Amino acid sequence: MSKSRNIPVLLTVFPFLLFLASSIASAQDTASAGTGKQAPVAYASVSELNGILTPLQRTSQSMQSDLGMLRIEKWKTDNATKRQTLANVESIQRNLQSALPEMLTQLNNSPEDLGASFKLYRNLDALYDVFGSVVESAGAFGSKDEFQSLNNDMTGLETARHAFGERVQKLAASKDDELTRLRAQVKTLSVAPPPPPKKIVVDDTEPPPKPAKKKATKPKTPATTPPAATPPASAKPAPN
């Protein structure tokens, strides 16, 4: 069972992808602070993700069921091989029951989160390796039915791993373009920041008492000098 040649390259660029994801998140926060908006996730991207995760969940349930029906103690092999296979089975079951569902929930909440996407891809890659060894041991030492069931599960796991690896590659390229755009947007906002919102101060304290109005004083009218009394006319002498 050989892996696809192009997808494991993602594992060698993991530090770059983490840096890209953190840079985009920082730029998005800064841009959102200036615009007050978050870019919605495209319907096509959500639909593509659901088309990968739904079959993966079915494969996970089938893997758990088939692993639980293995009778490794009856395999015709040495005890060391049996113990190692049992340990691998327990590790796979813990992953399928705990780690994988948490990753799927996180990705459903943020379908284009590059960090969460690559985390899931690495987990699928690890599951592929460990589960592959169990399938090979079942083919060599187990029953035909055990091998056939596990081999069908392996096909479903490989399909999901391959499809999700291609999605991560496309998502990384898209995020790189988005980072370039956001950096330009942040630079524009830093050069010409929007004016701060006007603040309306409401003073709910008791207003100070109004000063008492002073009565207007009327100007005093100047006293008028009474006219001089007219002297009486001199009396004429009475006739003799």
Upper half-sphere CA count for residue 150 (Cβ side, 13 Å): 25
Tell me, yes or no, whether 29 lies in a domain: no
**Structure tokens belonging to residue 96:** 């399928």
Q: In this predicted model, what pLDDT tens digit does every residue of 45-65 receive, in sequence order?
A: 999 999 999 999 999 999 999
Residue pair 76/143 in contact (Cβ under 8 Å)? The answer is no
Tell me, yes or no, whether 194 lies in a domain: no
Tell me, yes or no, whether 37 lies in a domain: no
Cβ neighbours around 149 below 10 Å, total: 21
| 181 pLDDT tier (thresholds 50, 70, 90) | confident
Tell me, yes or no, whether 136 lies in a domain: yes
Tell me, yes or no, whether 58 lies in a domain: yes
Tell me, yes or no, whether 132 lies in a domain: yes
Overall domain count for the chain: 1
Range of the domain at 139: 42-175
Q: In this predicted model, what pLDDT tens digit does every residue of 4-38 receive, in sequence order?
A: 444 454 445 445 445 545 554 554 454 444 444 45
Q: In this predicted model, what pLDDT tens digit does every residue of 90-129 receive, in sequence order?
A: 999 999 999 999 999 999 999 999 999 999 999 999 999 9
CATH number of the domain that residue 164 is part of: 1.20.120.230
Average pLDDT, the chain: 79
- Say if residue 151's pLDDT is above 60: yes
CA angle, 129 then 133 then 135, to 5°:
115
